[in-house]
Structure 1
Amino acid sequence: MIKMEKERKIAGISWNVFLLGLVSFLNDMSSEMIAPIVPTYLTDILKMGKLASGSIMGLIESLSSLFKVIFGYISDVFRKRKTFVALGYLLSTIAKGALALTHSWWDFLTLRILDRIGKGIRTAPRDALIAESSEKGKSGKSFGFHRMMDTLGAVTGPLVAVGLLALLSKYPKELAYRYIFLISAIPGAIGVLIVIFLVKDRGGIVKKKIKEISSLKSPHLRAFLAVVAIAALGRYSYAFTLWKVKELGYSIFQGLEFYALFNVIYALAAYPIGSYSDKVGKKKIITTGFGIAGLASLLFAYSKSLAMLMLAFILYGVYMAIEDTIPRAYMADLAKEYEKGTIIGMYHTVFGIFVFPASIIVGYLWQTYSLEIGFLYASVMNFIAMILMGTFVKEKAN
């Protein structure tokens, strides 16, 4: 059993969880300052085609997950989670700022890969640290708070980008984008300093050696990871939603507004959904999330009006609030204390392996048929995941 010193709280959240939430706010503000302009940067500035752009976005979002189980396991062994969290955020911050210097798809891809490697290094150790800093039975609340703060940063980022685009409107579009890339490194750097000087490790000394990953022997956990894989095949990059906005004739400024709406919904929903999952059970919430994802994709496929498009972004925000929050808490609950980083990392890795082909498939369907067909494919995969989750996965996997 890991012994934790008593820690002060803020609104029922431990100080460590609060600080990690603040760091995620700053980092996501940094990331989301550039995220809404990246699709246009790829197609209009770097002159990349639809399939290539979709593939790169999928690769970028998938690659980090391949490192998560590795560094989750390493952080379990050394019990120095903070080191990996700080290193991961530092790499990402450097990579985002350096995008200002890119002039080809290869430069862009290299730096985005470095950014995702940073995410891969920090995510599982950070999630394990959140779990270790949470009260028993309150993991959903802690992860919900963290995702809320993360997404508030994602709300702030596009709004800052809109302001910067307005201020830089007299400059050529390419130069304005490069300035935004450079400025995005500032909040990320502040977050790195908070991790280094204020966040505390909670690992302690693990008395049991890591010889067996007992939770992974559970057939119900394996069933859950299989469902995660299927759902990930329907998890397209956010870039496709912005390409849909562009396809309907809206400007990049309007696209940023839609993206901000999505993130507002995500931020408002994450914390209450996380707390609610502690009461009603995480399986029910995850199952519902897949259904909402399927419906959102249907709306994106058939959206022709402003109202339908807004509803699609709202449902997409609720879905992300669920599926980016509750599975982490679910995995943290079932993991033994000595393997939290490994178990949470396993979830991220399985997800990452299967989310990469999702964007390639949707990109191919977009290029060969239409964006509508790509969204319909994603809808089917999410509805299948919903049925399997409700049928084969139990509330307690171990």
Structure 2
Amino acid sequence: MYVADSRAGTPGAPDAPASAQGAARLRSGRRRAAVAPTVLALGTVSLITDVSSEMVTAVLPLYLVTGLGLSPLGFGLLDGVYNGFSALVRLAGGHLADRGGGRHKAVAGLGYALSALCKPLLLVAHSLTPIGVILAADRTGKGLRTAPRDALISLSSTPATRGRAFGVHRAMDTAGALLGPLVAFWILRVTVDGYDAVFTVSFCVAAVAVLVLVLFVPGGAPARASHAGDGPGPDTGAPHPDEGTHAQTGGSGPDPAPRPTLRAALALLRHRDLRRITVCALLLSLATVSDSFVYLLLQRRLGVPDRWFALLPLGTAAAFLLLAVPLGRLADRIGRWRIFLAGHGALLLAYALLLTSWHGTALPYAVLLLHGGFYAATDGVLMAAASDGVPAHLRSSGLAVVQTGQAVARFACSLAFGAAWTVWGDRTALTASTVALALCAACTLILRPTTKGTAPA
């Protein structure tokens, strides 16, 4: 179990232990590389929030396509809004969190609260336009909270353990994603008006998550955790970006960091590695089919009854939960970008399996295992890789730049896939996405970052 090591954050530790006993303590501390309490608290908030969100996500495709009779193109539009609208506010959320210096928790809390308030509104929306507006507001909340939350995780961790910290958070987050569909499935089975009951319970659970955030997540941006004698992590090797721009004058403390601005955040893209990370993430997201479409494709291939549809996300969530921490630790050891690209290789294999004529009972297990492995190897790992090139005073804004590129690309992919499914059919649409993903993956092999952890000047 991951617990915080209070001795890890002791400032002013000597670079070299004066005795063998000190060296032993240092090695032991490294073996017990801690996950900060802030990470665990945020993981709890994300776990509860994902129970709420995934209750809705698990039933939404079936509710819209079967219950309301939307076409694949209409569903693609709504799914694009659901997954991509947050791109419009992620930069704003990151900027607000950085600008206040200690507003990371406040901005994240605003985002969580806004998403919670949207859940009961689904009870009164029964057509494309109002549902689209509600989903846009829900994703606005997600856009506001994501970058400040990830910045808190990054700032609470050392460079050498960021992959693990994000892995632990994503594992806790995915535990909620695993429970959400189960709760939705149970509600649909025991209630008469199942969809309305799902939306109501989802709101109550989301409200609990906001309360946990307010009570248990520390306010303000934490100081960077430091371990005595720690050197650069596997993906570092240059001055740590958390240090900002320091100038020592006659032994005085460091000068304050420059005031965060949107221009300064966008100027981070002049740093070659961060620019390449952003471009690669955008390219790969352009060919990443939405989860909902993957589940609909599986249902059609296997003839899964409607009442069992809500259980399909469980396979993805279970694989994500099992693999997030091991792959995060592996990324810290062998390089984050290798794991990131390997995750997209797993996604390519999942698409290929969906395109084959194989209808065996193992097909859904294999596809969902690969699908969950894809998320475990990419979601937190990408944020850990991007954190290495962003100074602390712009951490939220810098991560928001990368996340915005991803969100815009996935919005476009949902629209394109929904249109292709409507015009040419699901098989042709998936074939085109598979080819596009292979081409984008080949491009990222050329454009991938070539140095490790170089902080922008």
Q: Does 1:53 align with 2:75?
A: yes
SS at match of 1:324: helix
RMSD of aligned C-alpha atoms? 2.1
Distance in 2 (CA, whole Å) between partners of 1:120 and 1:339 is 17
The 1:115/1:220 distance shift into structure 2, 3 A limit, reads same
Aligned partner letter, 1:267: L
1:233 paired residue number: 286
Q: Does 1:267 align with 2:321?
A: yes
1:319 paired residue number: 374
Greater helix share, structure number: 1
SS at match of 1:191: helix
Aligned partner letter, 1:239: S
1:207 paired residue number: 257
Aligned partner letter, 1:178: D
Bigger-Rg structure (1/2): 2
Distance in 2 (CA, whole Å) between partners of 1:6 and 1:123 is 29
Deviation of 1:245 (Å):
2.7
Out of 127, 133, 142, the position equivalent to 2:150 is 127
Distance in 1 (CA, whole Å) between partners of 2:107 and 2:202 is 22
Between 330-339 and 112-121, the greater mean CA deviation after superposition: 330-339
1:39 paired residue number: 61
Distance in 2 (CA, whole Å) between partners of 1:300 and 1:257 is 18
Deviations 1:104-146 (A, max 9, x none): 2222111111110000111101110111111332111111111
Aligned partner letter, 1:181: F
Distance in 2 (CA, whole Å) between partners of 1:185 and 1:244 is 29
1:137 paired residue number: 160
1:251 paired residue number: 305
Give the TM-score taking structure 2 as reference length: 0.81
Q: Does 1:192 align with 2:210?
A: yes
Distance in 2 (CA, whole Å) between partners of 1:392 and 1:120 is 27
Count of matched residue positions in the alignment of Structure 1 and Structure 2: 388
2:269 paired residue number: 216
Distance in 1 (CA, whole Å) between partners of 2:451 and 2:181 is 37
What are the equivalent positions in structure 2 for 1:1-398 lying under 5 Å apart?
12-79=34-101, 80-168=103-191, 171=192, 175-203=193-221, 207-210=257-260, 212-213=264-265, 215-248=268-301, 249-302=303-356, 304-393=359-448, 394-396=450-452, 398=454
SS at match of 1:384: helix
SS at match of 1:269: helix
Equivalent pair of 2:162/2:384 in contact (CA under 8 Å): yes
Equivalent pair of 2:289/2:414 in contact (CA under 8 Å): yes
Aligned partner letter, 2:403: H
SS at match of 2:126: coil
**Structure 1 unmatched runs, 5+:** none
Distance in 1 (CA, whole Å) between partners of 2:422 and 2:95 is 40
Distance in 1 (CA, whole Å) between partners of 2:214 and 2:429 is 43
Deviations 1:220-270 (A, max 9, x none): 322222211111111222111221133131113332332211110011111
SS at match of 1:254: helix
Between 159-168 and 24-33, the greater mean CA deviation after superposition: 159-168
Equivalent pair of 1:299/1:309 in contact (CA under 8 Å): no
SS at match of 2:362: helix
Distance in 1 (CA, whole Å) between partners of 2:59 and 2:10 is 44
Equivalent pair of 2:277/2:386 in contact (CA under 8 Å): no
Deviations 1:176-223 (A, max 9, x none): 101111111122111101111211134279533336446421223222
Give the TM-score taking structure 1 as reference length: 0.92
Identity rate of aligned residues, in percent?
27
Distance in 2 (CA, whole Å) between partners of 1:11 and 1:194 is 26
**Structure 2 unmatched runs, 5+:** 1-7, 12-31, 224-255
Between 362-371 and 30-39, the greater mean CA deviation after superposition: 362-371
Aligned partner letter, 1:287: L
